[in-house]
């Protein structure tokens, strides 16, 4: 016993001594901070130029910023983005290709947007690159050809994000928080983008690309005197103009805290975003208390939110809060992406932490730490040439007092816990917050409902919708026969169907593997004959026939006869309106209501096939079939849509078949009792 305790004692002692040996070092003497100012001059047209000479590396960067007020683009939302992608595609003097080639030949980077331009270059090409940047920005050449190209790319580009939970969550949050008529709330859609014309882009450029509030910042290996004369020559001719001043509705926060839910069935995490709009300018007296409050709530890895949601519960990779500061409307948002299961619990913790910073004074320790962080960053940044330029620009664009950065450390140190709490109460409107959640409804809504916070549902464009159907029982009294009968009624009635002797459908589709569109032909008659063919030009890729003799499939020249069970099944469905027979058959089961492409549909099962009929229109919207292939069970689904009447009978003009990829067939010609002969079924 004794021996053991000695060992323990020694071990303890060693550990103890080691710890004592290695105390946390104290900071050395605080470095002296020098706040430098750029050299500046103003051109007659209003352009302010700031130059920071820095000869450490043989390079230079240019930054032209137009500090225009935000404006709503409305029906032509996207015009600004399009202007951005078109400006700098060459100029009126130099065509696009030689323009881009020269920039890239010099190894430089030049970027243009509707609100400015930027470039970085080796200093030996400094003058030429500035010349090209000025030329591209001030003499843009907007052409129809480039316009069409960029617009087509942007339209296609919209699709790349259409299923992104993050993108949709951000879009809906801004649309709801600011309103869709507000510059920060509106967003680009296919529709608004299609409304934009080349003339709109030209007008946009004409109106807003003006020197009134323009700043040109030059940092690097240049000489002030030399570059000044280059700037005067290049930008002196820029015509003096001001941008139009447009108004838009001010955003309003909600009257009570609510959940705004967007159903994203593909989500594996819920994006949670608590938001209210704020007005907070950098020059406001409570600017520092407000940003410090936001930082303590959710600014870094020791914030209330991070320590709770990540470090304590491990529900998320990170939880953050951020307050916008601007001359214009901005927002306070608290966010995290959490796994589906814990969505409701995370909401509770978010609210708890926001309430905490409103009701409890932050500890002196937390406040001191945050101050140290802000001051530390300032000290590390302040002498870098980029910071010298950025601070000078902020003083201009954010209307700050000239000595804002001289007093920066002093003002941060002066912030008290009381001021932080006041700011939290003023800006973190926990009782007027939207809790926007984009996630998988089926898995997270039941939990959210238990929170007793009102829930409103929105689609991915921020339009109000009904609560999504999660799982639904069939209403009493509805049977498979009733569903089938309703379908028959919906497409024209048994009488009209009885007159149909033959149907001929012609359409086309594209597949990833084929270079050109494929033609689709489907013919059938009421006696049980069927022919389906997919061809590329004159070449048949797949043909399937059912006739009196039997059935066969020809694929890439190989013919295969269908026999046995498969033949019987194929024959049974080789009639125009199978439902007429099914309605009379037994063993057909109505299994429930499911969501098909966002609408409710009855599911009617017949053996290995399930057909779906829209609960409202009665029309067949889909069919799925399970089959065995190479020892694996596979489900093949077909969607039906775009029903149009042909001789009194409704026929789907759009069939989407899922055969490992989507075969989206659009009909161009559907005929009833015309265009079909027995020879078609040989």
Partner 1 sequence: MALSAALLLGGIASAQKVDFEEYTLDNGLHVILHNDSSAPVVVTSVMYHVGAKDENPERTGFAHFFEHLLFEGTENIKRGEWFKIVSSNGGVNNANTSDDRTYYYEVFPSNNLELGLWMESERMLHPVINQIGVDTQNEVVKEEKRMRMDNQPYGNFLTAVKENMFKNHPYRWMPIGSMAHLDAATLEEFQAFNKKFYTPNNAVLVVAGQIDIAQTKEWVQKYFGAIKRGEELKKQTFVEEPITQTIKATYQDPNIQIPAIVTSYRTPSMKTRDARVLDLISSYLSGGKSSKLYKKIVDEKKMALEIGAFGFNQEDYGMYIIYGLPMGNFTLADLQKEIDEEVVKIQTELISEKDYQKLQNTFENRFVNANSNLEGIAENLATYHLLYGDINLINNEIELYHSITREEIREVAKKYLNPNQRLILDYVPSTEKAQN
Q: Do the strands 589-596 and 599-606 form a parallel or antiparallel pair, or are they unpaired?
A: antiparallel
Q: Degrees (nearest 5) of the Cα angle 363, 366, 368?
A: 105
User: Binding to partner 1 by residue 164, rule CB under 8 A?
Assistant: yes
Measured from the CB atom, is 370 or 484 closer to partner 1?
370
Whether 154 contacts 193, CB under 8 Å: yes
- Choose, by CB under 8 A, the member of 6, 9, 10, 31 that binds partner 1: 31
- Choose, by CB under 8 A, the member of 5, 156, 239, 628 that binds partner 1: 156
User: How big is the site for partner 1, counted in residues (CB under 8 A)?
Assistant: 97
Residue 301: CB atoms within 10 Å: 10
Whether 526 contacts 501, CB under 8 Å: yes
User: Binding to partner 1 by residue 417, rule CB under 8 A?
Assistant: no
- Choose, by CB under 8 A, the member of 9, 12, 41, 317 that binds partner 1: 317
Length of the chain as a residue count: 682
User: Smallest distance from the beta carbon of 337 to partner 1, in angstroms?
Assistant: 5
Reference 357, options 321, 409, 403, 407; nearest CA is 321
Q: Who's near 424: CB < 8 A, 6+ residues apart?
A: 293, 297, 357, 358
Which span (176-184, 326-334, 505-513, 579-587) binds partner 1, by CB under 8 A?
Answer: 505-513
Task: State the burial class of residue 197 (Cβ atoms within 10 Å of its Cβ: 0-12, 13-18, 19+).
Answer: middle
Q: What is the footprint of partner 1 within residues 168-227 (CB under 8 A)?
A: none
Whether 215 contacts 50, CB under 8 Å: yes
User: Binding to partner 1 by residue 57, rule CB under 8 A?
Assistant: yes
Q: Which residues pair with 116 in a beta bridge?
A: 65, 113
User: Smallest distance from the beta carbon of 83 to partner 1, in angstroms?
Assistant: 17
- Choose, by CB under 8 A, the member of 392, 393, 429, 596 that binds partner 1: 596
User: Smallest distance from the beta carbon of 665 to partner 1, in angstroms?
Assistant: 14
Measured from the CB atom, is 125 or 235 closer to partner 1?
125
CA 208 – CA 141 distance, rounded (Å): 16
Q: What is the footprint of partner 1 within residues 87-126 (CB under 8 A)?
A: 97, 100-109, 120-122, 124
User: Smallest distance from the beta carbon of 37 to partner 1, in angstroms?
Assistant: 16
Tokens in use for 446?
């039941």
User: Smallest distance from the beta carbon of 663 to partner 1, in angstroms?
Assistant: 11
User: Smallest distance from the beta carbon of 432 to partner 1, in angstroms?
Assistant: 28
User: Smallest distance from the beta carbon of 402 to partner 1, in angstroms?
Assistant: 23
User: Binding to partner 1 by residue 399, rule CB under 8 A?
Assistant: no
User: Smallest distance from the beta carbon of 108 to partner 1, in angstroms?
Assistant: 6
Which span (230-238, 239-247, 336-344, 492-500) binds partner 1, by CB under 8 A?
Answer: 336-344
User: Binding to partner 1 by residue 470, rule CB under 8 A?
Assistant: no
- Choose, by CB under 8 A, the member of 22, 452, 471, 495 that binds partner 1: 22
User: Binding to partner 1 by residue 143, rule CB under 8 A?
Assistant: no
Which span (180-188, 285-293, 550-558, 658-666) binds partner 1, by CB under 8 A?
Answer: 658-666
Measured from the CB atom, is 24 or 229 closer to partner 1?
24
Place of tokens 């930054």: 63
Reference 504, options 538, 532, 544; nearest CA is 532
User: Smallest distance from the beta carbon of 148 to partner 1, in angstroms?
Assistant: 9
Q: What is the footprint of partner 1 within residues 227-286 (CB under 8 A)?
A: 263-269
User: Binding to partner 1 by residue 376, rule CB under 8 A?
Assistant: yes
User: Binding to partner 1 by residue 662, rule CB under 8 A?
Assistant: yes
- C-alpha dihedral over 156, 157, 160, 162, to 10 degrees? -80
User: Smallest distance from the beta carbon of 664 to partner 1, in angstroms?
Assistant: 11
Q: What is the footprint of partner 1 within residues 626-655 (CB under 8 A)?
A: 637
HSE at residue 619, side-chain half, CA atoms within 13 A, is 18
Instruction: Could you list the beta-strand ranges (E) of 584-660.
Output: 589-596, 599-606, 609-614, 620-629, 632-646, 649-658
User: Binding to partner 1 by residue 383, rule CB under 8 A?
Assistant: yes
Residue 49: CB atoms within 10 Å: 22
Reference 185, options 171, 195, 167; nearest CA is 171
User: Binding to partner 1 by residue 426, rule CB under 8 A?
Assistant: no
- Choose, by CB under 8 A, the member of 300, 528, 641, 648 that binds partner 1: 300
Measured from the CB atom, is 188 or 382 closer to partner 1?
382
User: Smallest distance from the beta carbon of 514 to partner 1, in angstroms?
Assistant: 7
Q: 509-521 burial by CB neighbour count: b if 16+ within 10 A, else e? A: bebeeeeeebbbb
HSE at residue 672, side-chain half, CA atoms within 13 A, is 17
User: Binding to partner 1 by residue 305, rule CB under 8 A?
Assistant: no
Measured from the CB atom, is 248 or 391 closer to partner 1?
391
HSE at residue 599, side-chain half, CA atoms within 13 A, is 16
617 to 81, 365, 472, 491, 650: CA distances (angstroms): 40, 65, 18, 10, 12
Measured from the CB atom, is 2 or 159 closer to partner 1?
159
The terminus-to-terminus CA distance of the chain in angstroms comes to 99
128 by DSSP, 3-state: which?
helix
Place of tokens 């007008």: 203
Whether 282 contacts 400, CB under 8 Å: yes
Whether 277 contacts 175, CB under 8 Å: no
CA 13 – CA 371 distance, rounded (Å): 37
User: Smallest distance from the beta carbon of 517 to partner 1, in angstroms?
Assistant: 7
285 to 110, 414, 423: CA distances (angstroms): 39, 12, 10
Which span (30-38, 43-51, 199-207, 229-237) binds partner 1, by CB under 8 A?
Answer: 30-38
User: Smallest distance from the beta carbon of 405 to partner 1, in angstroms?
Assistant: 15
What sections of 215-336 are H helices per DSSP? 224-235, 287-298, 304-305
Measured from the CB atom, is 207 or 510 closer to partner 1?
510
Measured from the CB atom, is 155 or 572 closer to partner 1?
155
Q: What is the footprint of partner 1 within residues 541-570 (CB under 8 A)?
A: none
Which span (298-306, 417-425, 526-534, 585-593) binds partner 1, by CB under 8 A?
Answer: 298-306
- Choose, by CB under 8 A, the member of 477, 515, 564, 587 that binds partner 1: 515
């Amino acid at each position: 016993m004794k021996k053991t305790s000695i060992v323990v004692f020694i071990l303890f002692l060693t550990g103890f001594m080691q710890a004592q040996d290695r105390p946390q070092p104290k900071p050395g003497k605080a470095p002296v901070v020098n706040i430098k100012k750029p050299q500046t001059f103003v051109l007659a047209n209003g352009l302010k130029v700031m130059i920071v000479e820095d000869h450490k590396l043989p390079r230079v960067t240019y930054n032209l910023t137009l500090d225009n007020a935000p404006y709503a683009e409305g029906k032509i939302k996207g015009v600004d983005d399009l202007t951005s992608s078109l400006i700098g595609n060459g100029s009126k003097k130099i065509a696009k290709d030689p323009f881009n080639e020269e920039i890239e030949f010099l190894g430089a980077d030049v970027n243009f947007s509707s609100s400015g331009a930027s470039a970085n270059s080796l200093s030996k090409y400094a003058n030429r690159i500035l010349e090209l940047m000025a030329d591209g920005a001030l003499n843009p050449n907007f052409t129809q050809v480039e316009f069409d190209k960029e617009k087509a790319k942007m339209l296609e580009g919209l699709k790349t994000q259409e299923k992104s939970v993050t993108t949709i969550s951000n879009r809906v949050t801004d649309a709801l928080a600011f309103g869709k008529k507000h510059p920060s709330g509106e967003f680009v859609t296919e529709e608004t983008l299609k409304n934009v014309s080349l003339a709109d882009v030209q007008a946009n450029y004409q109106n807003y690309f003006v020197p009134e509030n323009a700043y040109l910042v030059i940092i690097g290996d240049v000489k002030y005197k030399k570059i000044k004369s280059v700037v005067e020559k290049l930008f002196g001719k820029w015509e003096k103009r001001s941008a139009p001043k447009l108004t838009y509705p001010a955003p309003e926060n909600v009257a009570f805290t609510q959940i705004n839910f967007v159903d994203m069935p593909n989500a594996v995490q819920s994006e949670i975003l608590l938001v209210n709009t704020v007005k907070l300018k950098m020059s406001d007296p409570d600017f520092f208390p407000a940003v410090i409050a936001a930082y303590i709530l959710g600014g870094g890895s020791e914030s209330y939110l991070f320590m709770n949601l990540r470090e304590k519960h491990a529900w998320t990779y990170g939880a953050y809060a951020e307050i916008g500061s601007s001359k214009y409307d901005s927002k306070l948002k608290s966010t995290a992406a959490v796994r589906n299961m814990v969505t409701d619990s995370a909401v509770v913790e978010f609210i708890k932490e926001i309430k905490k910073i409103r009701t409890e004074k932050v500890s002196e320790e937390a406040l001191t730490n945050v101050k140290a962080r802000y001051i530390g960053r300032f000290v590390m940044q302040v002498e870098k040439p980029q910071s010298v330029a950025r601070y000078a620009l902020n003083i201009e664009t954010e209307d700050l007092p000239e000595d804002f950065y001289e007093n920066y450390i002093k003002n941060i140190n002066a912030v008290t816990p009381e001021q932080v709490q006041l700011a939290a109460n003023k800006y973190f409107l926990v009782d007027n917050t939207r809790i926007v959640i984009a996630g998988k409804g089926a898995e997270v809504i039941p939990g959210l409902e238990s929170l007793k916070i009102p829930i409103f549902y929105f689609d991915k464009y921020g339009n109000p919708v009904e609560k999504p159907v999660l799982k639904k029982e069939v209403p009493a009294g509805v049977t498979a026969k009733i569903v089938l009968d309703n379908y028959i009624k919906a497409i024209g009635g048994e009488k009209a169907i009885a007159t149909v002797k033959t149907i001929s459908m012609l359409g086309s589709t594209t597949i990833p593997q084929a270079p050109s569109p494929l033609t689709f032909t489907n013919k059938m008659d009421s006696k049980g004959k069927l022919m389906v063919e997919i061809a590329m030009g004159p070449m048949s890729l797949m043909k399937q026939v059912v006739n009196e003799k039997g059935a066969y499939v020809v694929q890439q020249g190989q013919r295969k006869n269908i026999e046995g069970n498969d033949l019987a099944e194929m024959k049974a469905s080789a009639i125009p309106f199978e439902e007429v027979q099914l309605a009379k058959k037994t063993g057909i089961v109505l299994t429930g209501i499911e969501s098909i492409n966002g609408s409710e549909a009855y599911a009617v099962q017949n053996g290995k096939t399930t057909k779906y009929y829209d609960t409202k229109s009665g029309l067949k919207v889909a069919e799925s079939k399970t089959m065995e292939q190479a020892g694996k069970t596979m489900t093949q689904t077909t969607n039906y849509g775009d029903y149009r009447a042909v001789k009194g009978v409704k026929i789907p003009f759009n069939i989407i078949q899922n055969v490992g990829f989507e075969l989206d067939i659009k009909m161009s010609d559907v005929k009833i009792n015309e265009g079909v002969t027995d020879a078609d079924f040989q």
